[in-house]
A = this chain, B = another copy of it.
Amino acid sequence: MSFIATPQTMHFPEVLPLQSGASLRDYHLAYETYGTLNADASNAVLVCHALNASHHVAGVYEGQDKSEGWWDNMIGPGKPVDTNRLFVIGVNNLGSCFGSTGPMHLHPDTGEVYGADFPVVTVEDWVNAQARLLERLGITQLAAVLGGSLGGMQALSWTLQYPERVRHAVVVASAPNLTAENIAFNEVARRAIVTDPDFHGGHFYRHGVVPKRGLRIARMIGHITYLSDDVMNEKFGRQLREGLDLKYSTQDIEFQIESYLRYQGDKFSEYFDANTYLLITRALDYFDPARGHGGDLTQALARATAKFLLISFTTDWRFSPRRSREIVKALLDNRRSVSYAEIDAPHGHDAFLLDDARYMNVMRSYFDSIAKELA
């Protein structure tokens, strides 16, 4: 049984300028904290989330079964990121659908739901918003910023946007930018959503409908890329859903893998916001710190002064170890302090959320050393 977590909200009346040139004002950030900030506010760890996660990183909600945070196996009292010693903060990103201001909220200028008018937000914008939240919490420097996948991109961006405010960056199962194939998968998912007749150009709320067909397809595509071919074969293989006889149907479920994907798609379409899906996949597409440096990642990372831990997983084909090694190389080219672990795990991209003894040990020992620096 985990500890009780309590979500909080902070209001920001001031304008947040965005990378696109647009801006947000009168926005809220939902966040949670675990552990206790020490006297000199030096033990803070910011956890950045990926596509469909939130500020609810660890703990459970009082009276709610199965309400564990998405990284509850990693973060908490006595866990690898030990909240007995560290003060951990989870923030829901702007544009999300889990509490922070997003497309489902009201535009302060018009009083109408933002919908498709919610401005495009980038990894850099999220980091700026997170930095303001930390200022309000009285944290001027993070002991560490930590994230997996898209969360890892935010951790990396922190070290470039606010180098003096980050002592350690832990970047798990991430990449310095998306490949053409990564963008391609995002684009198919977006087209499925946008061409769903229930999308109504992103203003489906006022029609009382949700583009569930598109969301289902988007989620099914996502799930395929989160898993490795090996783990799919092991979990599902060619197993039929019912009995041993084929039904010879193009539309009925025949194989277990079909049943699993349809279930995941249906579940997702019940709670996730379609505009949020577009925004978050676009933030992924756009992230590319080397872009302003003619594609030279070494030059781009020269600004970073933090110490780094990078972790990748051998069977992750979404953000393969090769992508993490690009970051490691660019940091080493800049003579930065870098630890790198390539974990031989069968679970594909999802491995960063799962229990694996070697992975947990690497994280535990790195965060132990961070905690020791505080003493």
Interface residues of A (CB under 8 A from B): 19-22, 116, 119-120, 177-181, 183-185, 187-188, 190-192, 194-197, 202, 213, 216-217, 220-221, 223-224, 227, 229, 232-233, 235-238, 246, 248-251, 254-255, 257-258, 261-262, 265, 275, 278-279, 281-282, 285-286, 288, 291
Contacts and interface: CB of A to CB of B under 8 A. Distances in A.
Contacts of A227: 181
B220 A188 contact: yes
Contacts of A21: 248
25 contacts: A20-B248, A21-B248, A116-B250, A120-B249, A178-B238, A180-B233, A180-B237, A180-B255, A181-B229, A183-B238, A184-B220, A184-B257, A184-B261, A185-B224, A187-B220, A187-B255, A190-B250, A191-B216, A191-B217, A192-B192, A194-B251, A197-B197, A250-B279, A254-B285, A255-B285
A191 B262 contact: yes
Contact of A233 (B179, B187, B255): B179
A16 B133 CA distance: 71
A231 to B, nearest CB: 9
Contacts of A213: 195-196
The 6 closest A-B pairs by CB, nearest first: A20-B248, A250-B278, A180-B232, A120-B248, A180-B236, A195-B213
Nearest to A278: B250
Given A180-B236, A248-B120, A257-B180, A224 B286 contact: no
Given A216-B191, A217-B188, A261-B188, A248 B183 contact: no
Contacts of A185: 224
A241 to B, nearest CB: 12
